[in-house]
Structure 1
Amino acid sequence: MGKESYLPLFETEAAKGRMAYMVYAVSVMMGICLICVYRLIHFPSPSQGRLQRWAWMGSFMAELWFTLYWLITQSVRFNPIYRFTFKHRLSQRYEKVLPKVDIFVCTADHTVEPPLMVINTVFSVMAYDYPPEKLSVYLSDDGGSELMFYALLEASRFAKYWLPFCKKFKIEPRSPAAYFETVCKALDDPTMAEEWSSVKKLYEDMKKRIVSTTKVGQIPEEIRKEHKGFQEWDLVSSKHDHPSIIQILIDGRRECSRGVDIEEKEEEEEEAMPTLVYLAREKRPQYHHNFKAGALNSLVELAGFDANGGPLYIGTGCFHRREALSGMKYKKDYKTDWMVKNDRKVEESTHVLEETCKVLASCSYEENTQWGKEMGLKYGCPVEDVITGLAIQCRGWRSVYFNPERKGFLGVGPTTLLQALVQNKRWSEGDFQIFLSKYCPFVYGHGKIPLQLQISYCCYLLWAPCSLATLYYVTVPSLCINRGISLFPKLSSPWVLPFAYVILAKYGYSLGEFLWCGGTFQAWWNDQRMWLFKRTTSYFFGFTDNIFEVFGFSKSGFVVTAKVAEEDISLRYEKEVMEYGAPSPMFNILATLSLANLFSFVGALKMVIMDSKTRVLDLLALQTMLCGLVVLVNLPVYEGLFFRKDKGRMPTSIVYQSVVIAILAHIAALLPP
């Protein structure tokens, strides 16, 4: 063990092909420079008309923005690295002194995040390959639903069968729902087959009870008598007005971890299990609850009592040092003695500990403190993760990105187009809000984090303003076709080459990278479609909401993204059919843009066919190709507008409105300036 104890726990390797990528990036930059030169030396003269001059200037400004944003994205691509870990060395060296780990699972509404789905997430983290006595799992239920508590109570009982099963047979994946969906029958091993059948039956029985209770919407009286925790809901007025609810369902401090019921009866000895805690923080109408950031801070406070600088902190799937979240600044001589931390013990009984911890989840606990400011997650921003991560890095802590072959975290995303657009609207709004605030990386991070890291934040913070350039580029050039106004070089001109090279190189590299990472051409094409949809809707609304907020016309909010859908919607999702069934202003924009480009594309084809000397084709070739590309991207939108008969088609009101607006836009484009 002498020399082995000094072997590294991980190694870092630089990505291959960096020089080739730099050559590609430089060549694209040269093409962009030539495009800028073309815009400047071919600027329309006054004799060509005011409309063409303004349209040309707008195109140039949009291209300058695309150039700036492209340069920003390159800051995170010039020096990619990969990390490889050696888990066996970690076990050999530190198994007896591994730190205690608290894992937070957050939910806010049992109607959009069903209890069965949430507890499957809980099972997967409880089954981590980590000493169970050092693992604590906290479920924060910001909806304060006793249905969620009931599901977690059922989970605490099933866990004593599921966790040993996972450990004994090295089960993957460790979410029961995902595992039994993947492995649909018992395997050849007779011993495993017998246990597999037994555990699957227990899971199906639990699933049936949870689903049936959730459908009814209330807990039967006989079930309420099974656990003292249900008594807490006797004091609940609504999900926005209730006291703190804390229930320790599995107390991992005990040598043989056991469930805790109303009478705390002794059970047979079982192997150690992680601590499992349910938390619904106190909510009162007169207190602002600070959305997800407030829920996470309650967990940090509770768990703290109980037990290039690097990438950005975005969303979930990450681990933090408790000291970093508690506001501590990093010092070069910082060193944690895990042995001392692990020896700290809380001797109170489970009931006493639950009552003691309630104050930590109360509305008044954070009053006149630094929580939400310098401690925990920061308040006042829809993307609490990004702003908190920036603050942590500015205090000297370094973050590390690690993407193992076996994914450490798997999430559930929206299953409908509208859900995805609403989620991206909130993200883009919050990101741009940070950029416009005192927490702008160039201001808040000046002298604290490297310039390259400051720039890399802008890849996300500038999503919202990207909408303006994109909207211009997919609207004005197509409308200019109607008047025969050319905004790009002639097909016969050598100036067409830099435009063609930049487009082909950028999207060719994007496709190649996508395929190299294991994707397919269809998935890449869908990704390009969503890129356009998000920029023209989500990011645009995120931008306008920020402007309204700056002038005091509105305030930012937090919308929980639905993770499930009705059965017919789910079936269409599985068939990769887009969902447009719900009316939304975002769909108005998508439909209107798609129709405006379709009308322009048809008009351009008509002009080309009627022009025997091909002068129109030479003059408007690139413009027509751009318009045609937008039409191609929007094929599912046309299908939803005119051809589909299912409930997922575009609402009739949106069809009429978009047709009228698109026609009016074309009439306006034909009017004399």
Structure 2
Amino acid sequence: MDRGRGVYSPLFETKKGRGRLIYRLFSISLFTAISFIWLYRFNHIITTNYTQQEEDGGKLVWFGMLAAELWFGFYWFLTQAFRWNLVFRQPFKDRLSQRYEHMLPEVDIFVCTADPEIEPPMMVINTVLSVMAFDYPSEKLSVYLSDDGGSEITFYALLEAATFAKHWLPFCKRFKVEPRSPAAYFNGIKDTNIANELVAIKKLYNEMEKRIEDATKLKRVPQEARLKHKGFSQWDSYSSKRDHDTILQILLHKKDHDNSKDVHGFMLPTLVYLAREKRPQYHHNYKAGAMNSLLRVSSIISNGKVILNVDCDMYSNNSESIRDSLCYFMDEEKGHEIAFVQSPQAFENVTKNDLYASALLAIAEVEFHGADGCGGPLYIGTGCFHKRESLCGMKFSDEYRHNWKSEDNLSTEETLHELEEKSKGLASCSYEENTQWGKEMGLKYGCPVEDVITGLSIQSNGWKSVYYNPARKAFLGVAPTSLLQVLIQHKRWSEGDFQILFSKYSPAWYAFGKINLSLQMGYCAYCLWAPNCLATLFYSIIPSLYLLKGIPLFPKVTKQFPLNIDRNMLFCPRELNSVGKNIA
């Protein structure tokens, strides 16, 4: 707000996508083409004598073609919900700094890992170091690593990262390094003006990497490190990754005056390791359970009002991501409505030809912008900034206004050891029994894609979300590189989305009347991704077989027909609409 002139200056602006009229005309023309196909199919079924064709099953084939085309038309109609009204947002970080630089909220960052063999410790700590080095006051950052594998190798790697951070964070801030994942930065280094400093920091990194890689190969922590740090004693009662006590260690904290500052004497972010309790008789609810444990534990250690969660393979690629997201949350006019700010899933290892479409361009560059124009994008489980209260189940109210100027400061007389012991109980297996965790509070349980139903539940509580897609992507991860990996990933997504359709969280009824109709349609389109394959298979196989038999199933070019329609327009209606990406 410009107080001198009384003029409202928003912290972000929203622009409508260009070429909307052109795309809408295109959609109308495509719907007209679809209608002519339906008309042709109906007319053929009604007027044709099937006496001869029935012997070859011709009648059933034509009914099958009609059913497939009706399904394609219905599914295409649902997909238009996220293509009809694209919006693009731009934050103003300079205005944020002018108004709130001295009262920025504390931010808790959750990094989740589950298996040190699939997710190597070096990859995990590169992600941790990248988020520790955000361009944000370090004393207001707290980073939590949830290790569902309960691996002492991962803990050892994090311990090494805590030491290296004392050199890496000052280096990043001094030279404005981008990206701030050490591995990514060293692989793409081009600046030769800082040769001496670069050689020194890279040497420290290589030494750390060697120690961690050696421990990973030997599958044991060096005895010297084990004796040096008391945290390893928590593995004395360790049975297996599915049967162990809560392991929690605060590695960096302002209460530890001797081990909380970098080499220049500035405060480092809080750093916490957590392996929640696991017992065979309790269901651990996978990543959703880990996130809920982090929510509770962080509430008594740092209690940041904004929470960022990232997968362990999604490092920070843009050090200003937090400030960009706060522009949405702290806007005086619209910020109170926003529950979460979602970033796209972007990948650093996508090949030029992107053989398996791992980049998900249609979703990232078109559909989520369209979802933003309908009330907000889906929550996809990583690269997302949340308001703590909305994630914990708070319902939106028009009277709600968060007072960012009066942040709660958790300053207790407890020692770090007392704080650790108190926090362990919040990550126990039995804590959630007879509570609303996983139901009304935190991430929801009961579905492989718990992130989607959690986002839907938040939006159904009256909140909105925002899609944050800058030119320099906020986070970069690793995409599947083989056909098997892609199939496994798509199988999980499609099965999970399909389960949502028939669960209590189905957008068809759970969200009815609670969210925008177009947003509801978009959710349904994703939920119907799996059954869409049945019509696609039929439409791919049957016409080809009948072509070999010389039996046409489509209008001939020479036949008098209102429009000579290429069947490819109906074969992949969702992909065809990617034309909208270029228009928008």
Could you state the TM-score of these two structures normalised by the residue count of structure 1?
0.72
Aligned-partner Cα distance in 1 for 2:201–2:430 = 44
Amino acid paired to 1:173: P
Aligned to 1:290: 285
Residue 146 of structure 1, CA deviation: 0.7
Aligned-partner Cα distance in 2 for 1:300–1:212 = 33
- Which among 141, 163, 168 is matched to residue 162 of structure 1? 168
Structure 1 unmatched ranges of 5 or more = 260-266, 518-673
Aligned-partner Cα distance in 1 for 2:59–2:439 = 49
Aligned to 1:318: 384
Answer yes or no: is the 8 Å Cα contact 2:555–2:564 preserved in 1: no
Answer yes or no: is the 8 Å Cα contact 2:129–2:182 preserved in 1: yes
Greater length-normalized contact order (CA 8 Å, ≥ 6 residues apart)? 2
Aligned to 1:112: 118
Aligned-partner Cα distance in 2 for 1:357–1:296 = 14
Residue 272 of structure 1, CA deviation: 1.4
Answer yes or no: is the 8 Å Cα contact 2:166–2:263 preserved in 1: no
What is the 5 A alignment of 1:559-570? none
- Which among 59, 82, 85 is matched to residue 76 of structure 1? 82
Residue 149 of structure 1, CA deviation: 0.7
Secondary structure class of the residue paired with 2:242:
coil
Residue 480 of structure 1, CA deviation: 2.4
Aligned-partner Cα distance in 2 for 1:30–1:329 = 42
Aligned to 1:94: 100
Aligned-partner Cα distance in 2 for 1:505–1:243 = 51
Answer yes or no: is the 8 Å Cα contact 1:133–1:273 preserved in 2: yes
Fraction of identical pairs, as percent: 56
Answer yes or no: is the 8 Å Cα contact 1:62–1:470 preserved in 2: yes
What is the 5 A alignment of 1:549-568? none
Aligned to 1:350: 416
Answer yes or no: is the 8 Å Cα contact 2:449–2:493 preserved in 1: yes
Residue 277 of structure 1, CA deviation: 0.7
What is the 5 A alignment of 1:457-472? 457-472=523-538
What is the 5 A alignment of 1:108-187? 108-183=114-189, 187=192
Aligned-partner Cα distance in 1 for 2:239–2:414 = 30
What are the superposed Cα offsets for residues 282-304 of structure 1, whole Å, 9 maximum, x if unpaired?
00001110111101111111112
Secondary structure class of the residue paired with 2:108:
strand
Aligned-partner Cα distance in 2 for 1:146–1:113 = 14
1:49 and 2:53 are equivalent in the alignment: yes
Tell me which moved more, 438-447 or 44-53. Answer: 44-53
Residue 506 of structure 1, CA deviation: 6.1
Decide whether aligned partners of structure 1 residues 143 and 507 sit closer, same or farther in structure 2, where only a CA change above 3 A counts. closer
Decide whether aligned partners of structure 1 residues 430 and 503 sit closer, same or farther in structure 2, where only a CA change above 3 A counts. closer
Aligned-partner Cα distance in 2 for 1:379–1:504 = 36
Residue 133 of structure 1, CA deviation: 0.9
Decide whether aligned partners of structure 1 residues 497 and 505 sit closer, same or farther in structure 2, where only a CA change above 3 A counts. farther
Amino acid paired to 1:19: L
Aligned-partner Cα distance in 1 for 2:116–2:27 = 47
Residue 485 of structure 1, CA deviation: 2.6
Answer yes or no: is the 8 Å Cα contact 1:256–1:270 preserved in 2: no
Amino acid paired to 2:389: E
RMSD: 2.2
Residue 492 of structure 1, CA deviation: 2.1
Decide whether aligned partners of structure 1 residues 428 and 58 sit closer, same or farther in structure 2, where only a CA change above 3 A counts. same
Aligned to 1:666: none
What are the superposed Cα offsets for residues 113-147 of structure 1, whole Å, 9 maximum, x if unpaired?
11111111111111111111111111111110111
Aligned to 1:212: 214
What are the superposed Cα offsets for residues 219-274 of structure 1, whole Å, 9 maximum, x if unpaired?
12222112111111111100000000111111146678627xxxxxxx97721111
What are the superposed Cα offsets for residues 526-584 of structure 1, whole Å, 9 maximum, x if unpaired?
xxxxxxxxxxxxxxxxxxxxxxxxxxxxxxxxxxxxxxxxxxxxxxxxxxxxxxxxxxx
Residue 47 of structure 1, CA deviation: 2.0
Answer yes or no: is the 8 Å Cα contact 1:97–1:342 preserved in 2: no
What is the 5 A alignment of 1:243-642? 243-252=245-254, 258=260, 270-306=265-301, 307=303, 308-495=374-561, 497-499=564-566, 502=569, 512=579
Aligned-partner Cα distance in 1 for 2:547–2:567 = 19
Amino acid paired to 1:407: K
Aligned-partner Cα distance in 2 for 1:150–1:210 = 8
Secondary structure class of the residue paired with 1:196:
helix
Aligned to 1:556: none
Aligned-partner Cα distance in 2 for 1:21–1:442 = 27
Amino acid paired to 1:439: Y
Q: Give the structure with the higher percent helix.
A: 1
Amino acid paired to 2:569: V
Length, aligned pairs only: 506
Aligned-partner Cα distance in 2 for 1:103–1:21 = 39
Aligned-partner Cα distance in 2 for 1:464–1:89 = 45
Aligned-partner Cα distance in 1 for 2:255–2:16 = 43
Answer yes or no: is the 8 Å Cα contact 2:72–2:570 preserved in 1: no
Decide whether aligned partners of structure 1 residues 486 and 48 sit closer, same or farther in structure 2, where only a CA change above 3 A counts. farther
Aligned-partner Cα distance in 2 for 1:501–1:202 = 57
Decide whether aligned partners of structure 1 residues 28 and 324 sit closer, same or farther in structure 2, where only a CA change above 3 A counts. same
Decide whether aligned partners of structure 1 residues 506 and 380 sit closer, same or farther in structure 2, where only a CA change above 3 A counts. closer
What is the 5 A alignment of 1:207-246? 207-246=209-248
Amino acid paired to 2:103: V
Q: Give the structure with the higher percent strand.
A: 2
Secondary structure class of the residue paired with 2:530:
helix
Structure 2 unmatched ranges of 5 or more = 304-373
What is the 5 A alignment of 1:183-202? 183=189, 187=192, 189=193, 192-202=194-204
Aligned-partner Cα distance in 2 for 1:400–1:92 = 23
Aligned-partner Cα distance in 2 for 1:498–1:268 = 69
Answer yes or no: is the 8 Å Cα contact 1:36–1:60 preserved in 2: yes
Answer yes or no: is the 8 Å Cα contact 1:145–1:239 preserved in 2: yes
Answer yes or no: is the 8 Å Cα contact 1:330–1:396 preserved in 2: yes
